[in-house]
Structure 1
Amino acid sequence: MLADAGTEYARARNGHAQCEILRTAQVPWTNTAPARHLKSELGSTPFSLVALFVTPNADFAKVVAEAEQCFPDTDVVACTTAGEIGNSGYDDGLIVAIGFPDTGFSTTPVLIEDIQQLHAQPVIDRIALERLALQEGNPDMAHGFAFLVVDGLSLSEDTLAATISPALRDMPIFGGSAGDGIDFSETLVALNGKIARNAAVLTLMRSKHRAQVFSLDHLVPTEQQMVVTEADPDRRIVKSINAEPAAREYARIVGKDPEQLDRFTFASHPVVVRIGGSHHVRAIQQVNDAGELVFFSAIDEGMVLTVATPSNMVEHLRRKMEELSQDGAPANIIGCDCILRRIEAEQTQMSRELSDILSTHRVTGFSTYGEQIGPLHVNHTMSGVAFYHADPTQK
C-alpha cells in the first residue's frame, strides 16, 4: 500500500534530519540482507536500543539473527506487524527500524515469557527494580516512559497491561500487539536474538528529550446498546447478546446481513465499553463457525456494549497531531496503530490522506492487533509517544 506516496515527504525529511531525535530506516522484505541495509541507513550513531517492526512476509528468524550480528553491542527489540508505518505513512512489506541514540536515551528491555500463565509478583518486582536502577543510573535524563510489544495472539494483553502498570509508578506506558497481517496465524516478539511466542518485551526508557505518551481514537458512542449474556472470557468469545446468538444480534442492531459480516463491518461499526468515565473499544476480530463473535480484547458476561460511530479519520488525526504540536512540533513520533484503523481507512478511501499526515509529522511505527496505554489494552486506537527538543534551538 502506498509505497510511493511519500516522495515529497522523503525529500523534506532529508532536510530535517539534523532536527530529528530518533534515527529511522526501512527496507523492503525482499532485500537479501535487510539488517545490514538498515544498519547502513541508520548511520554510525551508537544506539542504546534498536526497534524493528517486521512485515509477516519476511523470515522473522533470519531478520532477527542478522540484526543480532549487525548490532552486537545494542539491545534489539523486534516484533511482527499487521502493516508498517514508514516514510510514506501506511505501507506493507517493509522492515522498519528505529534507533535510539545513546547520547539521548538509556534503555532497559525486559523479556516477559509465558504471559498466559503470568506469575504477577516476580514480574512486578523485577520491573520495579529495573525502573529504579535505570532512573538512579541516569540522573541527567529527566524524562521516562515504557514501550511494550506483546504477542498479539496470546489473549493475555489485558492481564499483562494491568499487572505491569503499577510497577511503573509514574512512568507512562504505551505499546502494541504484534500482528500477522490479516491472517491471524502467528505473531512473534524477540529480544537480542531470542524469538518468543506467548511473550512480551517491555522496554523501560529514560531520555534527555521531553516525551509525551498519548492515545487517540475517532469514535463517538451512540445510544445503541447491547448486553453480553453468554461469553467465554478466556478465549474472548461472545456467544450471545441480549440472549440471542451473538453475530445475528449484532448484525440486527447495526442493520447488516448476518451472513455478510466481515472485517469492514467491524471496523465501521465498532462497539465500546465504559470504563472509569471513558469509552474504550472492544473490537470484534471475526465471526467463528458457531456464529459467535471473537474479540481482540477482554470481554465478559454482563458487559454493556455501546455501538460507536467513526468520525472523520483525516480531520481527527490532523487535529490530534496539531494538539501534539501546540508547544512546538515533535521531532519524531512512534505510533502503534490498530489494524482496524487501517482497514477503515482503506474502506473509506482515506489511506493516502492519512499517510500524508503521518509522514508530515514524522510518525514511524506499525499496525497492531491491539494497543496498550497505561493499565489498559484497547483497540481501534493509536497509542504512541512524541519526542520534543527542550527548546527550538536544540538540535
Structure 2
Amino acid sequence: MQASAKSTSGSCGIRVASSALSSPAAAVQEAKAALGSGDFQHIIAFFGIDYDANLLARTLAEAFPSIPTSGCTTAGEIGPDGMMQGGLLLIAFPRHGFKVHTELITDIDQFGVERATHAARRLKAKICPPDTRLDRKNVFALLLVDGLSNAEENIVAAIHWEIEDVELVGGSAGDGICFDHTTMIHNGHVARRAAILMMIESDYPFRVFKTQNFEPTGIKLVVTAADTENRIVHELNAEPAAREYAAAIGLRPDELGPFSFASYPLVVKVGGDYYCRSIRNMNPDGSLSFFCAIDEGLVFTVARPRDILSATETTLSDVDATLGGIDIVVGFDCVLRRLDAESRQIRHQMDELYKKYSVAGFHTYGEQYNAMHLNQTLTGIAFGRRVEG
C-alpha cells in the first residue's frame, strides 16, 4: 500500500503528522511513524467521521501507552499537505517547553456551565496557587467542544470568566456536513455532548488570533419567530425564513445550500465589530438552522465576502511579524470558509498559504475566541521560537 503520511515539525518541538488511510489502526501506525521518535507529553487527534471512534481511541491509547490523548471528529482536517477530508491528523506536544493539563467535560447540554466552571478552576489550580492570577504571557486555554450540543456560548463564557484574562481559542467538532453526531475522545474513552478543556503552559512565545473575510451590506433581516433552544429561525422580517433570506441575496429558496450560506453570511454587530452567525442548513419546512445561538429580535446584516486569501494572508503575516517568525500554528477554520474557497476555485491557493505558515488543525462547526463563539472565522494559536536569555 502506498504511504499517505505527511509530517512537519517546528523548532518549538511540536510535531504534526497526518494519514489518509481508511483503517483506524493503519492510519494511527502510519501517523505515529511519521511523527518519529520524541518525548511527547500530549497528543491531539483530529479525524474524519468514517473512522470508528471507539477503535481509534483504543488504537491511539495502545500506540501511545504513556501519553494522554485528546481529540474530536471534524468537517475536514488541515495538515502538513494542506486541507484533507476524512483523514487522521496528530499534533504532538513535547514534554520539554510545554505543560499540558486537560479535563473532559461531560453532559454539556445539561450541566455545561457548572461543569465547565469547575473544570477550569481545577486546571487553574494545577498551574498557580489559590487566589493568584494566571500569567497570560505563559498560559493559554484550548477548547474542543461538541459542535451539535448547542452549548458552546455558555461553555466559552463560563470558562472565560473563570480563567480571567488568559486567552482561549478552540473549535467545535464536526461530522463532515452531515449534522448528525460528533464525537470527542479523551485518554482512550469516547464521549458525546462533551468538551475537552486544555490549559497549556508554554516556554515559547505565542499569539492567539482570528481572521475573517466579510463586510456588511445595508440589508437587514430581523428574527421574528424562532426556536432559540434548537437555534432554528422560522421567520425573518415576519416572512418564512428561507424565502426571505433567499430573496435578500437574489436566489430562490430551492437554490440555497452550503455554498450560498458560505458566500452570503449573516452577521451581527457586537461592541462595534461584526461577527458571523452562520446558517447551518435549510429545513424541509423552510426554516433555517444556525451554527450559533439566536434570539427573537436579533438583527442580522447580510454580508458579502472579501478576498479570503488576502484577508488570511494579512492576518498570518501580521502574526508572523509580531512573533519574529511563525514556527507552527494550531488553527480552527470554519467549514464554510473551506466551502467558500472551493466554490471560488482557490482551494489550492489556500492549501499553499496554510503550508507556508505551518497551519495544522481542523474545519469546524464554530470557532472559539476568548469569550466569543464565532462562525466563518479562522482562529488559532501561533507559536514562535523561544527567546533565550
- For residues 152 and 298 of structure 1, the distance between their equivalents in structure 2, rounded to whole angstroms, comes to 12
Q: Is the 8 A contact 2:102 2:123 kept in 1?
A: no
Structure 1 match to 2:80: 87
**1:339-360: CA deviation from partner (whole Å, max 9, x where unpaired):** 0000000000010001100001
Determine whether 1:276 maps to 2:268: no
Q: Is the 8 A contact 1:127 1:168 kept in 2?
A: yes
Pick from 350, 355, 379: which aligns with 1:354?
350
The one-letter amino acid paired with 2:20 is P
Q: Is the 8 A contact 2:108 2:115 kept in 1?
A: no
- CA positional deviation for 1:19: 2.8
The alignment partner of 2:229 has SS state of helix
Aligned pairs for 1:47-58 (under 5 A) are 47-58=40-51
Aligned pairs for 1:376-387 (under 5 A) are 376-387=372-383
Determine whether 1:227 maps to 2:222: yes
The one-letter amino acid paired with 2:155 is L
Q: Name the CA shift for 1:136/1:208 in 2 (closer, same or farther; >3 Å).
A: farther
Paired residue total:
382
- For residues 272 and 135 of structure 2, the distance between their equivalents in structure 1, rounded to whole angstroms, comes to 37
Q: Is the 8 A contact 1:21 1:387 kept in 2?
A: no
Q: Please, what is the CA RMSD of the aligned residues?
A: 2.2
- CA positional deviation for 1:18: 6.3
Aligned pairs for 1:107-118 (under 5 A) are 107-118=100-111
Moved more, 366-375 or 28-37: 28-37
Structure 2 match to 1:22: 14
Determine whether 1:201 maps to 2:196: yes
Structure 2 match to 1:285: 280
Aligned pairs for 1:198-347 (under 5 A) are 198-327=193-322, 328-347=324-343
- CA positional deviation for 1:135: 3.8
Q: Is the 8 A contact 2:18 2:79 kept in 1?
A: yes
Q: Name the CA shift for 1:216/1:142 in 2 (closer, same or farther; >3 Å).
A: closer
- CA positional deviation for 1:70: 1.5
Q: Name the CA shift for 1:119/1:315 in 2 (closer, same or farther; >3 Å).
A: closer
The one-letter amino acid paired with 1:352 is H
Q: Is the 8 A contact 1:80 1:187 kept in 2?
A: yes
Structure 1 match to 2:171: 176
- Runs (4+) of structure 1 moved beyond 6 Å? none
Q: Is the 8 A contact 2:225 2:238 kept in 1?
A: yes
Q: Is the 8 A contact 2:136 2:165 kept in 1?
A: no
Determine whether 1:130 maps to 2:123: yes
- For residues 112 and 221 of structure 2, the distance between their equivalents in structure 1, rounded to whole angstroms, comes to 34
- For residues 155 and 140 of structure 1, the distance between their equivalents in structure 2, rounded to whole angstroms, comes to 31
Relative to the length of structure 2, the TM-score reads 0.93
Q: Name the CA shift for 1:274/1:233 in 2 (closer, same or farther; >3 Å).
A: same
**1:216-268: CA deviation from partner (whole Å, max 9, x where unpaired):** 11111111111100111100000101111111111111111112111111100
- CA positional deviation for 1:136: 5.4
Relative to the length of structure 1, the TM-score reads 0.92
- For residues 61 and 242 of structure 1, the distance between their equivalents in structure 2, rounded to whole angstroms, comes to 46
**1:32-83: CA deviation from partner (whole Å, max 9, x where unpaired):** 4222322222222122210000111222221111101122221100100100
Percent of residue pairs bearing the same amino acid type: 36
Q: Is the 8 A contact 1:29 1:55 kept in 2?
A: no
- For residues 341 and 140 of structure 1, the distance between their equivalents in structure 2, rounded to whole angstroms, comes to 33
**Structure 1: unaligned runs, 5 residues or longer:** none
Structure 2 match to 1:105: 98
- For residues 272 and 254 of structure 1, the distance between their equivalents in structure 2, rounded to whole angstroms, comes to 14
Determine whether 1:43 maps to 2:22: no
Q: Name the CA shift for 1:141/1:380 in 2 (closer, same or farther; >3 Å).
A: closer
Q: Is the 8 A contact 2:141 2:197 kept in 1?
A: yes
